[in-house]
Chain A
């Protein structure tokens, strides 16, 4: 991407955000906090499976999250290409960071 194109796109994005903030008002602190927690969960899961494949209960043990939460986040990260399946261990699929 040329510098000119990047600058044009940057201006467009900045204008869009400015217009949206003017319409919606100040950012919702509750939503911002929830987003921050979600990012922390994603990072914790990705860190837990960075070097070795783990099952959902193993990831839950490593991160302190519940198995249901881990399952949802692994599903989300798998859909968007951050996590991949790595075979089965007994009754569980093992997941690895992609």
Chain B
């Protein structure tokens, strides 16, 4: 990259540095292609670095993700841009040109040594996004322990301008007046691996999500189950009580026309079963109940995983949850209607409830958005030649992988990313053959 004029040439631009973006970037970089990897968050790793363990192997999610994060960050063929957003990607005679904006961290990255003294000195606490609000961070903080890169971000909205961070910094790298920086990337191909969001906690008002402190999202439960989670144990956010009874409400954001999410999010059954198994390990005497419509255990080893959970004593109740109320002790009262027994509605009490929310695209293409791709009715990217060519988008030279194209589990996202990398590599080679003057320009 030419730091003077903020321009970079790369073979492939990869948008999004979650597990799919990391895998696609590494597959390309290991073959000798140059990659510009762009991530809007302060750290790479996506949602996966936030998880406790993965199904169905119960391997540590961080142990799988962190080596890929480190490899991508240190790979000589990958230029990494964090806190950077893609403003526009347009076609040129040679491929694509992307205009990026790097948002300010308010520190000089080339001087910061990641010592965290600024974070220790800061006295302003705000809810920590990484722990989904269950824990706190400081107004200046490194996002999480194994974040890459290990640079803090100053939250301009929360900062009180007391100057404690600047006084504590041994390298004088705090820069309160840092401005956004424009970067231009020329690339021959693009891979879009944008992330997903969960449906909002309060989308179904009858469940009390976002109002009752003990109604959690699945990602909040992931943090409670993580060894370095906010409480150091599974406790109730309302009062720190160790829960005796935990319930999962399945399809609390999917297969629901009223939310505009008629499709199955594919991963909710399996992550609920995984979390239930982990909870039964952390809280051996707790009752864990999963209220479901039907269990979709579709992948390799998933049905066995489900049967193992049943054998461990997880209660699977085929029932629809109509509403959730809270009593004066923050216990949750679920009004359910069983579908297996045919009995009338009943009310059951649980200490903690997890809503299995649906997956929706975090980025939807619009005609005047960053790149004029087309989406399907569900908002995920359209794949006109799927399933034969599952990574080709509606634009020649632009490929997609991971949850940008639809809900996927980690195994499928990684496989998909490998396929996208191969398709992009083929495209770059074809472009080189048709334009011999460019051959070997960056490889």
CB-defined contacts of B236 to chain A, threshold 8 Å: 71
- Contacts A19-B177, A35-B124, A79-B136 hold; do A55 and B161 have CB atoms under 8 A apart? no
- Contacts A13-B167, A35-B124, A71-B238 hold; do A79 and B174 have CB atoms under 8 A apart? no
What is the interface of chain B mostly: helix, strand, loop, or mixed?
A: loop
- Contacts A75-B134, A78-B232 hold; do A68 and B123 have CB atoms under 8 A apart? no
Q: B159-182: which residues lie under 8 A (CB-CB) from chain A?
A: 160-163, 166-167, 172, 174-177
Q: Chain B, 148-165, contact with A by CB distance < 8 Å: what is the 0/1 string?
A: 000000001000111100
Can you name the residue of chain B whose Cβ is closest to the Cβ of A27? B161
CB-defined contacts of B232 to chain A, threshold 8 Å: 78, 85
Q: Please tell me if the beta carbons of B160 and A31 are within 8 angstroms of each other in the complex.
A: yes
Q: How large is the interface on A (under 10, 10 to 19, 20 to 34, 35 or more residues)?
A: 35 or more
Can you name the residue of chain B whose Cβ is closest to the Cβ of A85? B232
CB-defined contacts of A9 to chain B, threshold 8 Å: 166-167, 172
Does A86 have its Cβ within 8 Å of any Cβ on chain B? Answer: no
CB-defined contacts of B176 to chain A, threshold 8 Å: 16-17, 19-20, 23
Q: Which of A17, A24, A57, A85 contacts B163 (CB 8 A)?
A: A17
Q: What separation, in Å, do the CA atoms of A32 and B123 have in the docked complex?
A: 12
- Contacts A12-B166, A75-B136, A76-B136 hold; do A68 and B237 have CB atoms under 8 A apart? yes
Enumerate chain A interface residues (CB-CB to B < 8 A). Answer: 9-10, 12-14, 16-17, 19-21, 23-24, 27, 31-32, 35, 38-39, 42, 55-57, 60, 67-68, 70-76, 78-80, 85, 88, 91-93
Enumerate chain B interface residues (CB-CB to A < 8 A). Answer: 120, 123-125, 127, 134-136, 138, 156, 160-163, 166-167, 172, 174-177, 213, 230-233, 235-242, 244, 330
A-B contact pairs, 29 of them (CB 8 A): A9-B166, A9-B172, A12-B166, A12-B172, A16-B166, A16-B175, A16-B176, A17-B176, A20-B161, A20-B176, A23-B177, A24-B156, A24-B161, A27-B161, A35-B124, A56-B239, A57-B239, A60-B239, A67-B238, A71-B236, A71-B237, A71-B239, A72-B127, A73-B125, A74-B240, A79-B136, A85-B232, A93-B231, A93-B233
